[in-house]
Amino acid sequence: MIKGYIFDYGGTLDTSGCHWGKMLWHAYQHQGVPVTEQQFRDAYVYAERTLGRNPIIQTSYNFHKTLSIKIRLEMEQLCVSGAWDADEKMFNGKHDAVLEELYSQVKQITDHSRQVLEKLHVTYPMVLVSNFYGNIHVVLQEFGLAHLFSDVVESAVVGIRKPDSRIFSLGVEKLGLKPEEVMVVGDSFYKDIEPAQKAGCKATWFKGEGWTDATYDESIPDKVITDLDQLL
């Protein structure tokens, strides 16, 4: 019997299961940034690794600022690599257009997530477990989600990153429940579903557009959803 929930954040509560790389690429396409998907992918990976290795994102930064930095790093790398020859005016215009399109989408999606979580919150205690930059509390406040979680386990704070199953065990401890009484909800098979089950939890896969075309055995998770309200 499920007595509590652990939620992933990025790719789950803010993009409806769509990988963030795909969210960004679609915005680049919509805003006419003249690069190929492979060129974008290379820049995306570069930016993610840069943010992972360097304390660029400060604990006080909200999501709008975090996303702005992420996009700027990607676009700078596209220019440095020779994939995109943009002058300052074009660069800033495309940066701002991609940023505002994505931020608007995230606001809409997190509004929907909040409505579902509010209903679950009536019955179940909930903890957030996320690979994030140390500013997840500010981001949760920004989107009106902070009050819904009794605790947060953030990789930058605890020093453990998914797919290490110990980060989910920490979440279970925060809930004060047995692992088998906890349902983990996440978008990543590798970073959420597999380590959550290794920690002894039940797991719901939020299936959306992935970073690759890889297919997964949908009998492995305990539940598969395509909209958060399917948890209700």
The enclosing domain of 182 has a CATH number of 3.40.50.1000
pLDDT confidence tier of residue 43, bands split at 50, 70 and 90: very high
pLDDT at 167: 98
pTM: 0.97
Q: How far apart are CA 170 and CA 1, in angstroms?
A: 20
pLDDT at 161: 96
Domain range for 25: 20-105
pLDDT at 78: 98
Please check whether residue 113 is in contact with residue 228, taking contact to mean a CB–CB distance below 8 angstroms: yes
Average the pLDDT over 216-222 and give the result.
Answer: 97
Domain stops at, among 105, 135, 159: 105
Domain stops at, among 87, 105, 123: 105
Question: Are 55 and 163 within one domain?
Answer: no
Question: Are 29 and 77 within one domain?
Answer: yes
pLDDT confidence tier of residue 9, bands split at 50, 70 and 90: very high
Domain stops at, among 71, 105, 139: 105
pLDDT at 30: 98
Helices vs strands, H then E, count in the chain: 8, 6
Question: Are 41 and 150 within one domain?
Answer: no
Average the pLDDT over 6-18 and give the result.
Answer: 98
